[in-house]
A and B are shown apart, each in its own frame.
Chain A
Amino acid sequence: MAESRARHRAWLNPTLTAGLVLVGLVTVMALAAPWISGADPGTVHDPVAGRYLPPGSERVPLVFADGRRLLADRVERHGAGAGAEVVAHRRDRVETYPAAALVNLPAATDAVPPARVFPLGTDRFGRDVWTRVVWGARVSLAVAFLAVLIAATVGTLVASIAALGRGWVDLVLMRLVDALMSIPRLFLLLLLVALFRPGTTTLVVVIGATTWMTISRLVRAELLSLGERDFVLAARAAGAHPLRILRVHMLPHALTTLLVMSGLMIGLVILLESSLSFLGFGVQAPTPSWGNMISTGSNRLLDAWWVALFPGLALVATVVGFNLLTDGLRDALDPRRHGVDRSRFRP
């Protein structure tokens, strides 16, 4: 019992805990996006009076039957029944609409729609920044997980071929990895994105195609050292097929390396995705991603700082979370290593 508690303590070091909390928060945000914030991150609340509202602004949303939306500073209701009218004060204008044209206004009562708060303000199309930040978590995490999945699959595959083939096969594959790694990642990504059509699918494939090399190198090293171990030699002596040795005796042992490595890649890949989206070659316009939101905000940085600030905070919290998580995980898996040598990645 005491021993298991000690193990438990060793596992949950403060770094790991902090990482788990941050990653957990972002994951919940991504999964529960429609319930946490508005249902549609593309909703234009008011293309004129709703542009660049500062954080904490309160406006009364008016939703019309034809789908049009407006924001009013203040709303009054005159009359009742079929002839009821709604007087909306929008900035310096006063407009009157028939109450029946509004869908968010119960016709039978005297109620006016309740005001809505925009906690993080709105962007240049009058869209809610908070809603877009929350939905951006979905895009960032989805792209990151899929890209890392591709990278891990390709990386393991190439590593297995190299480790099984040895000799020439190994040499050629590893030189190829070296060559790909000597092209700075962002240049390689931009080259590939330019050759194909930019979009979320291209982004996932291209990021996967430019990050598998690191995984492949490490897994190959692991497989080669496993190949010298007694149980593998015994299996080989017993006449097991090389593929069976790989599948049953070697790959399961390389799994820890693969998982830690993949976790470490997620932080990097989120940074890559947001950098590319910021440059305009990643996630494309209507879909919210933290990178393209920051890019939109950079045009009016000085007078509408909130558009670029908040997605950036979410981005930093997420990447810090994943890096803390993998750091803590490594410490937990190998207590001797106290934060020793992490591979250096920056996009």
Chain B
Amino acid sequence: MTSYLLRRTAASLVLLWLVVSLTFLFLHLAPGGVSGGWVNLDQAGSVEQRQRLERVYGLDRPLAEQYLSWLGRYARGDLGTSWTHGRPVTRVIAEALPATLLLALAATCVELGLAVPLGIWAARRRGSPTDHALRGAGLFFFSLPSFWFGLMAILAFGYLWPILPLSGMRSVDAHTLGPVGQAVDVGRHLVLPALVLGITSAGGTLRFARNSLLEVLEQDYIRTARAKGLSEARVVGVHGLRNALSPLIQLLGVNLPSLLNGALIVEVVFSWPGLGQVTLQSILTRDLPMILGTTTLAATLVILGNLTADLAQAAADPRVRHG
């Protein structure tokens, strides 16, 4: 177990190093260099501004030196200072991250709550009309663009059935409410974005859950369990599900990038004040340190997520840690 843990952690560190190096590379591949195209507010000031920028960011130093200091700063958790906020990038991100994590968590609950039971249902009735209908629904929701689905949800709930807030995370008068009232307020704002993100993610997961369970149900030990006269519920629920769990844990890790992608879009549609909003704003204002910071952070989250999923899987499945 220890050697597996060490190996996986080392591999993750290598990945992190590569990602940070890639962002450095992208930056210097941009036409006109780092500061070209970025500072062109007015012609007269631009030369002086560019020089100041290059001094501040050490862009006049040799490339190797810049690269090492880039790595060093990242290792110390320093992502630079935001140009528009005038504050450390990490601080701005830290303020936006909880909202994104809350949305992602709620959406994952919706996703699993829909996909796993429906996946089991489809697998149990393989080849039946139910199975076909569920597979079709899975493909449909998998193909659904989350931004459009979100807009249609806003249309439906804003027009036909106005019971939920349509955008933002808190009501204007939220500060007058007590702590419980505030939590309920955030919860009400969370419903639509979490449903939209969860449902669009559930399409693929449903199919994955169905297929994983089907693969397990074809194994010999399931035949054995049936042969010794166990009830079907016990065969599927205990022997089948437990073994289909391992791919599902891994799926949650693999799922993380698409969850963050989806969260970015859904946050923009519902004005949810999270990482996606910050990223989009920083691109609109051409805030380079912020853009690089959010990208690096998103990649770090993904790598850590995959590492956690692998370790959880190793803990759950002895074949992984000894294989």
Contact = CB atoms under 8 A, between A and B. Distances in A.
A81 B50 CA distance: 67
A296 to B, nearest CB: 12
Given A194-B286, A320-B143, A346-B262, A294 B148 contact: yes
B135 A347 contact: no
B264 A187 contact: yes
Interface of B: 14-15, 18-19, 22-23, 26-27, 29-31, 37, 126-127, 135, 139-140, 142-148, 151-152, 154-155, 158-159, 200-201, 204-205, 207-208, 210-211, 214-215, 251, 254-258, 260-262, 264-265, 268-269, 279-280, 283-284, 286, 291-292, 294-295, 298-299, 302-303, 306
Given A187-B279, A190-B283, A312-B145, 16 more contacts: A179-B18, A182-B19, A182-B299, A182-B306, A183-B295, A183-B298, A184-B298, A190-B279, A196-B30, A274-B145, A279-B265, A298-B269, A309-B152, A309-B155, A323-B139, A341-B211
6 contacts: A183-B302, A186-B265, A279-B265, A312-B145, A319-B145, A324-B139
Contacts of B27: 195
Nearest to B154: A301
Nearest to A180: B22
A340 B205 CA distance: 12
Interface in A171-216: 175-176, 178-188, 190-197
A103 B29 CA distance: 53
A183 B292 CA distance: 11
Given A301-B154, A309-B152, A183 B145 contact: no
Given A294-B148, A308-B151, A184 B261 contact: yes
Interface of A: 175-176, 178-188, 190-197, 267, 271, 274-275, 278-281, 294, 297-298, 301-302, 305, 308-309, 312, 315-316, 319-320, 323-324, 327, 338-342, 344-347
Q: Is the interface of B mostly helix, strand, loop or mixed?
A: helix
A342 B205 CA distance: 10
B148 A315 contact: yes
A187 B148 contact: no
Contact of B155 (A182, A185, A186, A305): A305
Contacts of B208: 341, 344
A328 to B, nearest CB: 11
Contacts of A298: 151, 269
Contacts of A187: 260-261, 264, 279, 294-295, 298-299
Contacts of B22: 179-180, 183
Contacts of B152: 308-309, 312
A342 B257 contact: no
Contacts of B143: 267, 271, 316, 319-320, 323
B177 to A, nearest CB: 27
A278 B147 contact: yes
4 A-B pairs with least C-beta separation: A179-B18, A312-B148, A195-B30, A319-B143
A304 to B, nearest CB: 11
A211 B173 CA distance: 45
A338 to B, nearest CB: 8
A184 B151 contact: no
Given A191-B291, A267-B143, A340 B15 contact: no
Nearest to B260: A184
A274 B146 CA distance: 11
A23 B151 CA distance: 25
Given A179-B19, A190-B283, A346-B201, A302 B139 contact: no
A323 B151 CA distance: 23
A190 B291 contact: yes
B18 A294 contact: no
Contacts of B151: 294, 297-298, 301, 308, 312
A80 to B, nearest CB: 50
Contacts of A192: 26
Given A190-B291, A312-B148, A323-B139, A279 B268 contact: yes
A196 B258 contact: no
Q: Which of B145, B210, B211, B294 has the most CB of A within 10 A?
A: B145
A323 B142 contact: yes
Contacts of B280: 190, 279
Contacts of B140: 316, 320
Contacts of B147: 274-275, 278, 294
Contacts of A323: 139, 142-143
A194 B255 CA distance: 25
A140 to B, nearest CB: 11
A271 B144 CA distance: 8
B18 A176 contact: yes
Given A182-B303, A187-B279, A312-B145, A340 B215 contact: yes
Contact of B200 (A193, A312, A346): A346
Contact of B299 (A183, A194, A308): A183
Contact of A302 (B155, B214, B256, B268): B155
A195 B139 contact: no
Contacts of B286: 194
Contacts of A278: 145, 147-148, 265
Contacts of A267: 143
B258 A184 contact: yes
Contacts of A195: 26-27, 29-31
Nearest to B301: A184
B145 A315 contact: yes
Contacts of A327: 139
Contacts of A346: 142, 146, 200-201, 204, 258, 261-262
Q: Which of B26, B139, B211, B269 has the most CB of A within 10 A?
A: B139
B298 A308 contact: no
